[in-house]
Homo-oligomer: A and B are copies of this chain.
């Protein structure tokens, strides 16, 4: 099935305790598309870049089956740029620079073929832009997922709640789930958020994994314990890309298959953090991915003997 991804395509400069990477490829849509491309080659990307963005990187995405008709390239414009520095524990980071550049005028126009995508992943953007994408869809979608962050809850909560009311799956972190719902317990937060609209809620907890809620069902996917987390940038988007790519491949949104999709996302995220930028995500093979899925099974399964 087809997957539409909307979000940023950008440059990042990243400092971690292990080193610095300057002006490397980043952006939610980039991570989502690369990650999903291991599961499906029917992807529409909708984003905006300046003419400073390397053709080579766009071609690599095309080569993986990503349709770029929805990518606007602004002549003379500069691509979105983010710079950040991670603390020693890798769980916290400081944003050093956010240059919106061409993103300031992003008004996504969906190509005709993208409007009927069965699966849609809206990366973190202003709620107004996310709403504009929803308005262009033809209504035939099977599952629409949306990622957002506390920043929009602080400055545009009403608009954000309006778009959340129109989607099927919301991905946010634990503190954001508490802020959005006003509930401290994640179980109670999930109840409140389900009532806002989304049938599925994924609460991301970084190194502590992710929780999937669907009415009274809960599923817990741990993060794979790794000897070294090199750079967490893009891990959440890579997770979402794996999840949505797996759903687009299998076209099954039962709770049992959602569990597998969450694990697929977790496995992809575990690769993402092992190197800067897309370095690891761009060189994976299916046997490597399958081996990691097996590791999740070993990490989580037990035979219940009562």
Binding site for B on A (CB under 8 A): 88-89, 184-188, 205, 208-209, 211, 217-220, 222, 225-229, 250, 256, 259-260, 263, 290, 293-294, 296-306
Contacts and interface: CB of A to CB of B under 8 A. Distances in A.
Contacts of A290: 306
B302 A263 contact: yes
A265 B259 CA distance: 24
A300 B298 contact: no
A130 to B, nearest CB: 28
A186 B296 CA distance: 17
A293 B304 contact: yes
B256 A302 contact: yes
**Taking the full assembly, how many copies of this chain does it contain?**
2
Contacts of A187: 225-227
Contact of A299 (B188, B218, B263, B306): B218
A299 B226 CA distance: 22
Contact of A260 (B211, B259, B303): B303
Given A219-B302, A293-B304, A302-B256, A225 B208 contact: no
Contacts of A305: 250, 260
Interface of A is mostly: mixed
Contacts of A208: 205, 208-209
A260 B303 CA distance: 7
A295 B208 CA distance: 19
B185 A228 contact: yes
B185 A260 contact: no
Contact of A188 (B217, B227, B250): B227
Contacts of A260: 302-305
A39 B187 CA distance: 29
A274 B269 CA distance: 34
A18 to B, nearest CB: 11
Contact of A294 (B88, B298, B300, B304): B304
A166 to B, nearest CB: 26
A170 B146 CA distance: 42
Contact of A219 (B205, B263, B293, B299): B299
A218 B219 CA distance: 19
